[in-house]
Amino acid sequence: MEEKNASTIITDHEFLMLLQAARQKDSGAMLRIIELFQGDIENISKMIRIPREDALSHIITELLEYIQSEKYL
């Protein structure tokens, strides 16, 4: 049985390394970041009044575009 609030915890250093790898177009790092935020992405998608699959796709795309941008530095 899955726990409702179960999430993966990583250190700040590990997360920064994932961000750095994702900015260098490492698909594995991008997938790992999406996995880390999967619960949040799914919760947010429920509040958007478009088909769930479209909402998920838009959120993930925006997240990856934000990571690739220099705005968060």
Q: Please give the residue that has the higher pLDDT: either 3 or 34.
A: 34
Domain definitions of the chain by residue range: 12-68
Q: What is the mean pLDDT of the chain?
A: 87
| 16-44 residues labelled b (16+ CB within 10 A) or e (exposed) | eebeebbbeeeeebbebbbebeeeebeee
- Taking each helix axis from N to C terminus, what angle separates 38-45 and 27-36, rounded to the nearest 10 degrees? 60
What pTM was computed for the model? 0.78
User: Is the per-residue pLDDT at 3 higher than 60?
Assistant: no
